[in-house]
Structure 1
């Protein structure tokens, strides 16, 4: 800002003494105020500005250090770049790539509450030999990445890093010990040709032996419904035409992974590996990414309420 002091006033326009005194006062105060403002700016913002830097203002809200619980500098209202920060999700990739080499171990029976059942199975495969265990690990890895991007802590029950299993009772214990907010067991079915589509398996109300699913039936049902809706939308596939009466939801009490869980948990059968049309989807990396996206969106909606 510039102004003309009394020494620059035209001789033909003399001002009254009071007005002249006011101008002199302003001439002293304004520069002082400007100097004070500059000093305040330097102290308030070491970087020269108290506004978030450009990275912190991106549309996704992500910035260097995002997810550390700190809000961007200069933010007028609280915001979270990690909406699932503090949430724990356990992903349970069905079966294990090396189960077939350990048949004695996986055939050992374990207590699932309602009865005793095999520790694990080898899983199914497509007619061309693409195994369910490979499929489930691939989807689990993609799902883990998506959930971690949302700030969740993600644990896998197995990552192809053990010789077999874990057994179904141990899979349940892993989710329980993690105090998981949600657990999803990823599978693909091995039904007959012509049977197509996905379905989500929910825990039945079981109270037998060491199993008591009554506290988790409600939240698990909500989790399953959200995943089914978002999976269908993301992948463009339809609910199973052979179980679930077209709802994409099935309730079972014969699965140890559900019976022994004390935290919200569901299974998802992403498609039928023994049907050629479903198999074409399941063996597509692009489709598996859509599958992971759909499961992730359902989990996020469940955890965010």
Structure 2
């Protein structure tokens, strides 16, 4: 994430730790009780059973895949920003701890495409898709926000959610807003220098796995920040305050026309989500 895309309120957006309901199979129709007769010189015929009206067939959701070695592990997904941030400037401008002796505003509004599609909507949708894919593999998913209409939570609280969940991995999902000419591509940020053991090898391995899987999925690394798709950062509160393996994915630049078109489409968001989910599963299974 670069500083240029964070627009702190009172500027409003021009306009970014998922779900379809599941239903089980319908209960089977009751079986008529057996007719018990006793020996008799004149047996009485049993009455004909009432016709059974079949219950409607309700398709069930697929069961979690039993093959994933990551099943049962906890992942925290942190979709950046929130849809109500722009209308609550006092709340999101409040200073909170950001690690390394710094403070930062509680949150920001995020960026948007030139056509007005907001980062908070993009990140929430992608996080929901990632969570659905991970849940199917038996991975337990926790979200830092439950909707796209609320405010916050603050950046320090987002880190605390991952810590309290004892997450095996925490992945923040964002999109950038660089105005640099020709700026495009994704990058993955991680805390550096590390402040605890989890921010060392576990977090850098998570960042590399996300980077490698994004590249293998057809996404190009950023040409304007970091190196080869990785960006070491000391100023991101969610990473600084984490005691769990954590990384932040900037999926692309919303001000780039080609990347904006992909982010705006449902098919494009599914592509981002599939790559992120595959990376998380690969990290947990290693």
User: Displacement, 1:278?
Assistant: 1.4
Mapped partners of 1:66, 1:219: distance in 2: 26
How big is each residue's C-alpha offset from its partner over 1:72-111, in whole Å with a ceiling of 9 and x where there is no partner?
xxxxxxxx44432220000000000110011110000111
- In the other structure, the counterpart of 1:151 is 138
Q: Which stretch of the first structure deviates more once superposed, 152-161 or 132-141?
A: 152-161
Q: In 2, Cα distance between the equivalents of 1:278 and 1:64?
A: 32
| Alpha-carbon distance in 2 for matches of 1:215, 1:301 | 18
State the distance in 1 between where 2:114 and 2:149 align: 26
CA distance in structure 2 between the partners assigned to 1:107 and 1:255 by the alignment: 16
Whole-angstrom CA distance in 1 between matches of 2:170 and 2:164: 12
Q: Is the 8 A contact 1:126 1:274 kept in 2?
A: yes
1:287 paired with 2:236, answer no
1:239 aligned onto 2:221: yes
Of structures 1 and 2, the larger Rg is shown by 1
Say whether the 8 Å CA contact 1:205–1:214 is kept in structure 2.
Answer: no
The reply on whether 1:105 has 2:108 as its aligned counterpart is: no
| Residue of structure 1 in register with 2:4 after alignment | none
For residue 229 of structure 1, report the CA deviation from its aligned partner.
Answer: 1.1
Secondary structure of 1:187 counterpart: strand
Equivalent residue for 1:51?
none
Write out aligned runs for 1:243-254 (5 A): 243-245=225-227, 247-254=228-235
- 1:44-59 correspondence to structure 2 within 5 Å: none
Q: Provide the secondary structure at the position in 1 that maps to 2:248.
A: strand
CA shift at 1:163, angstroms? 2.8
TM-score, normalising length: structure 1: 0.70
- Asked whether 1:95 is paired with 2:95, we answer no
Counterpart residue number, 1:264: 245
Query: In the TM superposition, what is the alpha-carbon distance from 1:281 to its structure 2 partner?
Result: 1.4
Distance in 2 (alpha carbons) for counterparts of 1:229 and 1:82: 20
Aligned partner of 1:118 in structure 2 is 105
Residue 162 of structure 1 and its aligned partner are, at CA, apart by 6.4
- Asked if 1 retains the 8 angstrom alpha-carbon contact of 2:160 and 2:242, the reply is yes
In 1, distance between residues paired with 2:110 and 2:141?
Answer: 24
Q: SS of the residue aligned with 1:215? A: helix
Q: Distance in 2 between matches of 1:66 and 1:287?
A: 25
**Do structure 1's residue 223 and structure 2's residue 234 form an aligned pair?**
no
Name structure 1 gaps, 5 residues minimum.
Answer: 1-62, 68-79, 207-211
TM score, norm. by length of structure 2: 0.75
Offset of residue 279 of structure 1: 0.7
Query: Higher relative CO (CA 8 A, sep ≥ 6), structure 1 or 2?
Result: 2
Give the distance between the partners of 1:81 and 1:191, measured in 2 at CA: 41
Cα distance in 2 for residues equivalent to 1:298 and 1:215: 18
- The corresponding residue for 2:20 is none
Q: How does 1:1-305 map to 2 (within 5 A)?
A: 80-114=66-100, 115-160=102-147, 163-192=150-179, 193-206=181-194, 212-234=195-217, 236-245=218-227, 247-305=228-286
Partner in structure 1 of residue 44 of structure 2: none
Q: Is the 8 A contact 2:76 2:170 kept in 1?
A: yes
2:151 is paired with a residue whose SS is coil
Partner SS state of residue 160, structure 1: coil
Specify whether residues 168 and 64 from structure 1 end up closer, same or farther in structure 2 by C-alpha distance, changes over 3 A only.
closer
1:213–1:259 Cα contact (<8 Å) kept: no
Whole-Å Cα distance in 2 between the matches of residues 131 and 285 of structure 1?
Answer: 14
Deviation at 1:259, TM superposition (A): 0.5
| Distance (Å, rounded) in 2 between the aligned partners of 1:287 and 1:167 | 28
Distance 1:278-1:64 versus aligned 2 partners, 3 A rule: closer
